[in-house]
Amino acid sequence: MRRERNRSGDSGGAWSSALVTGLGVFFLFVYVAEQVVVYDVQRFYSKGFLAGFAVSAIFISALLGGGYWLGRTDLSPDRYLRVAKWVVGGMVFFFGINVVIMALTNTGDFAFRFSWGRWSANVGAAGGLLVGYVEARAIQRELEAQRAEIRAEEAESQRRWLDYLNGLLRHEVLNTANIITGYASILLDDDALDDTTEAHLATIHRQGRDMTNVIRDVQVLLETTSEPDQSKPKNLSDVLADELDQLRDTYESVTVEASIPDDVTVLADDLLARIFSNLFRNAVEHNDSERPEVRVTVEETGETALVRVADDGPGIPANDRATLFDRSDNTGASHGLGLYLVRTLAERYDGRVELTETGPDGSVFTVELSKTDRDTHDTAAVEEGAPDQRLAQ
């Protein structure tokens, strides 16, 4: 149906364009024929002819140019026919008025009346083209404004629902998951547990912790969807140091090696930490060794900062590598939602993440982010806001 409407609109535009251009050619032909038939050759050299030609040429050119423009305008195809109707209507209306005036005044001979009628029809058609264009533009602007308002209302409604879902996850689901994990942790500290009960409680604790991580990832995804990217200078060095401290606190058996220069600043927002918390967590949770190793290095390369997160785990299976960062509807996926979130956030900051090495000796993930200078960024922000500050003063 949409294709049929587009074809109809295109044919309507071509037809309308041909009509307006044809009228321009017609009036040009009639004018030239009038001069040749009615007047002698000497008139072509007179000032009266030049003045009359200049006046007629304006309206003839308006139709010729209007026909060319109408076939290439960005107006909606629905407006083409309406413009053509204004052209024909303006021509007929203005010509009719002048015919009545000629009949009432009985002025001049036939040649004068013919010239008058030809001129009035030409002026009416050109005037109709102008009115039709103005009206078509006004209608299109109004429709675009209505569509923009509808889109804004839909976006606001979606934002409210996302806020509601975010609050529901935070206050209901996440709190419940934390309670389950907390009670399971308390019970695991009981030395009187038999092996079967302890295994079941460990499973409850592990699944509750995994559910908590998923809920937090979903919350971050909701935030990236509902809130615009407000990138600003973020100290990457501090973010990495904080996340590594949390990793050591969460997993006491992990060994961490880090080579991070001081004061590496990148363009990001407050969600930046979620990239590395997910990568660090994956490096530990998908490692079967008794003491997992995580190595983090930062390399500055011109306008970018490369963060490499390496582990000594079993590597990524070949079948999982192609879809490693894709969103999966399979809740049993080996890497869950975390790596999809990592890619989403990296792209949010115009960066990227990729699996650069993997094998039986471990894997390396590399995150590339855009560097920025804090002082330069702050100066640019001040300069951008300077006119407002001067006005305030």
> Of the ranges 113-122, 177-186, 227-236, 372-381, which is most confident?
113-122
Total number of residues shown for the chain: 393
- Give pLDDT, residue 393: 32
The model's pLDDT over 55-83, given as tens digits with 9 standing for 90+, comes to 788 888 888 888 777 767 767 766 778 88
Domain boundaries defined on the chain: 1-227, 232-377
Q: Which of 289, 310, 291 is nearest to 367 (CA)?
A: 310
Between CA 272 and CA 242 the distance in angstroms is 12
- Give pLDDT, residue 37: 76
The H or E element spanning position 372 is none
Tell me the CB-side half-sphere exposure of residue 134, using CA atoms within 13 A: 6
Helices 110-168 and 2-38, interaxial angle, to 10°? Answer: 160
Q: Supply the DSSP symbol for 39.
A: S
For residue 189, list its beta bridge partners. none
- Give pLDDT, residue 386: 41
Between CA 69 and CA 21 the distance in angstroms is 10
Q: What is the CATH number of domain 232-377?
A: 3.30.565.10
Q: Count Cβ atoms below 10 Å from residue 362 Cβ, excluding itself.
A: 20
The model's pLDDT over 289-327, given as tens digits with 9 standing for 90+, comes to 889 999 999 999 889 999 999 999 999 988 888 888 887
Amino acid at 58: I
Q: Quote the tokens at residue 273.
A: 């930490």
The H or E element spanning position 301 is strand 293-301
The H or E element spanning position 73 is none
